[in-house]
Chains A and B, each alone.
Chain A
Amino acid sequence: MLSESSSFLKGVMLGSIFCALITMLGHVRIGHGNRMHHHEHHHLQAPNKEDILKISEDERMELSKSFRVYCIILVKPKDVSLWAAVKETWTKHCDKAEFFSSENVKVFESINMETSDMWLMMRKAYKYAFDKHSDQYNWFFLARPTTFAIVENLKYFLLKKDPSQPFYLGHTIKSGDLEYVSVEGGIVLSIESMKRLNSLLNIPEKCPEQGGMIWKISEDKQLAVCLKYAGVFAENAEDADGKDVFNTKSVGLFIKEAMTNHPNQVVEGCCSDMAVTFNGLTPNQMHVMMYGVYRLRAFGHLFNDALIFLPPNGSDND
């Protein structure tokens, strides 16, 4: 009896040690996924307002219409309440928004990817979007349902960028040698990047379906690896003051952190005025954001925007 329990215990110990070793190894390979290094980014800036104002009004109207953004939102059945909120709020401002789900969900229309693996879903979604819509849209924005995006600010940011160039932008994180765009802040790909990505999706050596050795590598990192082979590099999107426009946190969290870390700069340190995304919102918060961004106005304050975007027809919450 004693020898059995001791061998059992030895087994447990060995098992856990083995497991810990593998995890360490996995992390070392990826390069400490949870730690972020912010130097040596490729930075991409928003257009300068003065430059925009130099363009005539008609040209500006033409420009704002020439932007066609296709939104891809990857959902799973457990995201149903977020899905509903996202559907009723910001995705209405995409030129087209499609929901790609892991399986068929009766409540909402979606395109069934028939896999619950996030990387596979992402690949299939990108392939679908490219195959079906590459001639109608020039920018492709991928997000999770926990993200709130201000599509008009996205369009403004992309204003002077040529979609026939390979753009891959959002909130970047450096992990060892790899710089990738975090899926939580939203991923933007130009049509050229989509082309290159889709040509590589069929080559398993460059773009494997199962990336990690033993532990899974997150889908945003896998995407970056794949795109790197195609010569497409991640760039961090910033405004004229160097602030991130794609955010992986919510406003509430930013303020909380600012209050603890640098309380004298709660507003300055926080968020860009032309922020495109915030992440980590609850469904209720999405509705409040929608209200705050598009409807609530302080009387007597006039913001002279360089571009005008009109709300979609028949929409009642913006």
Chain B
Amino acid sequence: MASKSWLNFLTFLCGSAIGFFLCSQLLSILLGEQGDTQPNILHNDPHARHSDDNGQNHLEGQMNFNADSSQHKDENTDIAENLFQKVKILCWVMTGPQNLEKKAKHVKATWAQRCNKVLFMSSEENKDFPTVGLKTKEGRDQLYWKTIKAFQYVHDHYLEDADWFMKADDDTYVILDNLRWLLSKYDPEKPIYFGRRFKPYVKQGYMSGGAGYVLSKEALKRFVDAFKTDKCTHSSSIEDLALGKCMEIINVEAGDSRDTTGKETFHPFVPEHHLIKGYLPRTFWYWNYNYYPPVEVSLEILLYKYLD
């Protein structure tokens, strides 16, 4: 009988020890830290688009970024203001109904305010946002068609309102002040366009769609005209390549957007990919596509892509 109660006692002790241990582990987990996981996005296809968000990082609420102007009280923006008047840029942002809240809204609250004029292009019209309805379908294969229709819309309604016409995606960030600095040296009456120049497939190269590109007024006129006279084809599923081919056909020059030290200013990926040495593997398609030899990242960045 004594041994049985002894066994009982032992089991009891074991139980309490295990209970104590489990409880302390649980509490330490509950009160402890949580790790941060970063999604690693590398695009295996140069003409791929950023896959649609699963909505996890969806930021709620309306924003008012105009408050920014009161922050820098000692800032002198005379030169920037001067350029704003001299180099007029119309920005049009490629978006869609499912991305208005997730992405386009943030573009609208931030950098788009620095454009002389901004338009949001979607397959459907939305009077509240507002977006221009291009009357197309959504999807990757519709991109070129949307681009053509968007440029056409801009040409028909806003040709005289700007000197330069920029296309950007809703996951791109543009530093307009730096873009104006680049474009101030060129004449918008000349047929030229700028972006991140890629070398394959097109003799003079073509501009990466992801990094955004900007057309001079003359280039826009010729582009729109090219479809009326059938010089360029309407159908293609690769927007940037098709546009680049068309530009070559209509004699619009592919410009050099690098800064004074030869560094690129348009970037097809997020800053981390470009800033951290070795982030993009040597075998990645990107290194073979760049028209110019690589130098380190520019001080005067214009564009960044695939931002959350």
Which residues does A use to contact B, with CB under 8 Å?
3-5, 7-20, 23, 34, 49, 255-256, 259-260, 263-268, 273, 280, 282, 284-285, 287-288, 291-292, 295-304, 316
Bound Cα distance A255, B18 (Å): 43
Is the CB–CB distance between A282 and B36 below 8 Å? yes
Beta-carbon contact of B63 and A284 below 8 Å: no
Q: Which of B13, B75, B301 contacts A303 (CB 8 A)?
A: B75
A7 touches B11 (CB 8 A): yes
Inter-chain contact A15/B38, CB cutoff 8 Å: no
B134 within 8 A of A: no
5 closest Cβ contacts across the A-B interface? A11-B15, A15-B19, A263-B61, A300-B80, A15-B16
Give chain B nearest CB distance to A166 CB in angstroms.
31
Closest B residue to A295 using CB positions: B299
Cβ contact within 8 Å between B22 and A11: no
Please tell me if the beta carbons of A302 and B177 are within 8 angstroms of each other in the complex. no
Instruction: Indicate if the CB atoms of A12 and B15 lie closer than 8 Å.
Output: yes
The residue on B at minimum CB distance from A296 is B301
Query: How would residues 285 to 302 of chain B score, 1 for a CB under 8 Å from any chain A CB and 0 otherwise?
Result: 000000000001101110
Determine whether the beta carbon of B23 is less than 8 Å from that of A19.
yes
Main secondary structure of the interface of B (DSSP, over half): helix
Distance between A128 CB and nearest chain B CB, rounded to angstroms:
27
Q: Is B41 an interface residue (CB 8 A)?
A: no
Say yes or no: is B148 at the interface (Cβ < 8 Å to chain A): no
**How far, in whole Å, are A299 and B279 apart by their CA atoms in the complex?**
28
A284 to B40, CA, bound (A): 11
A sample of 15 more A-B contacts (CB under 8 A), given A4-B7, A297-B178, is A11-B15, A11-B19, A12-B15, A15-B22, A259-B59, A259-B60, A260-B59, A284-B276, A288-B272, A295-B299, A299-B181, A300-B77, A300-B81, A300-B181, A301-B79
Which of B66-74, B88-96, B227-235 contacts its partner? B66-74
Q: A266-B64, A273-B71, A295-B299 are in contact. Are A16 and B22 (CB under 8 A)?
A: yes
* B275 in contact with A299 (CB, 8 Å): no
- A49-B23 in contact (CB<8A): no
Assuming the contacts A12-B18, A264-B64, A284-B38, asked whether A20 and B23 have C-beta atoms less than 8 A apart, the reply is: yes
Q: In angstroms, how far is the closest chain A Cβ from the Cβ of B20?
A: 4
A4–B11 CB distance below 8 A: yes
Determine if B177 and A15 form an interchain contact, defined as CB atoms under 8 angstroms apart: no
Expressed in whole angstroms, the minimum distance between the Cβ of A283 and any Cβ of chain B is 8
CA distance A166 to B18 in the complex (A): 48
How many Å from the CB of A318 to the closest CB on chain B?
11
Please tell me if B54 contacts chain A, counting CB pairs below 8 Å. no
> Chain A's nearest CB lies how many Å from the CB of B172?
16
Please state if A273 and B64 are interface contacts (CB–CB under 8 Å): no
Taking the closest CB of chain A, its distance from the CB of B140, in whole angstroms, is 28
Residues in B neighbouring A255, C-beta threshold 8 A: 59
Which of B12, B109, B272 touches A7 (beta carbons < 8 Å)? B12
**How far is A264 from B63 in the complex, measured between Cα atoms in Å?**
5
Which residues of chain B (81-111) have a CB below 8 Å from chain A? Answer: 81-83, 109
B23 and A16 within 8 A (CB): yes
Docked complex Cα distance between A34 and B27 (Å): 13
A34 pairs with B272, CB closer than 8 A: no
Q: Provide the bound-state CA to CA distance between A177 and B75, in Å.
A: 42
Residue of B nearest to A11 (CB): B15
Cβ < 8 Å to A, chain B residues 1-22: 4, 7-9, 11-22
The smallest beta-carbon distance between A58 and chain B, in angstroms, is 21
In the complex, B31 has a CB within 8 A of chain A: yes
Contacts of A13 in B (CB 8 A): 15, 19
Q: Among residues 24 to 52 in chain B, which have CB atoms less than 8 Å away from a CB atom of chain A?
A: 24, 27, 31, 36, 38
B residues in contact (CB < 8 Å) with A = 4, 7-9, 11-24, 27, 31, 36, 38, 59-65, 67-68, 70-72, 74-83, 109, 175, 177-178, 180-181, 271-272, 275-276, 279, 296-297, 299-301
Q: How far is the CB of B220 from chain A (nearest CB, A)?
A: 24
Indicate which residue in B14, B271, B300 contacts A299 across the interface (CB closer than 8 Å): B300
**Across the interface, which residues of A come within 8 angstroms of B177, CB to CB?**
298-301
Q: Which of these, A10, A15, A280, A284, contacts B23 with CB under 8 Å?
A: A15
CB closest chain-A residue, reference B40:
A284
Q: Which of B17, B71, B83, B276 contacts A267 (CB 8 A)?
A: B71
Find B12's partner among A8, A34, A296 (CB 8 Å cutoff). A8
Q: Which residue of A lies closest to B7 (CB)?
A: A4
Q: Which of B16, B27, B109, B180 has the largest number of chain A CB atoms within 10 A?
A: B16
Q: Please, could you name 6 A-B residue pairs with CB atoms under 8 Å apart, sorted by A?
A: A5-B11, A7-B11, A15-B21, A263-B60, A282-B38, A295-B299
User: Which residues of A have CB within 8 Å of B65?
Assistant: 266-267
Distance of A296 Cα from B267 Cα, bound (Å): 14
| Complex contact A260–B15 (CB within 8 A) | no
Cα A300 to Cα B74 in complex, Å, equals 14
Query: Chain B residue with minimal CB distance to A85?
Result: B276
B79/A267 in contact, CB under 8 A = no
Q: Quick one: given A12-B19, A303-B74, are A280 and B36 in contact (CB under 8 Å)?
A: yes
- Residues in B whose Cβ lies below 8 Å from that of A12: 15-16, 18-19, 22
Q: Find the B residue at minimum CB distance from A273.
A: B71
When C-beta atoms are compared, the residue in chain B nearest to A260 turns out to be: B60
Q: Tell whether A263 pairs with B83 under 8 Å between CB atoms, given A7-B8, A284-B276.
A: no
Instruction: Find the A residue at minimum CB distance from B27.
Output: A23
Instruction: Specify the chain B residue showing the minimal Cβ separation from A27.
Output: B31
Residue of B17, B63, B70, B175 near A259 (CB, 8 A) is B63
A296 to B68, CA, bound (A): 18
Query: Contacts A259-B60, A287-B276 hold; do A4 and B67 have CB atoms under 8 A apart?
Result: no
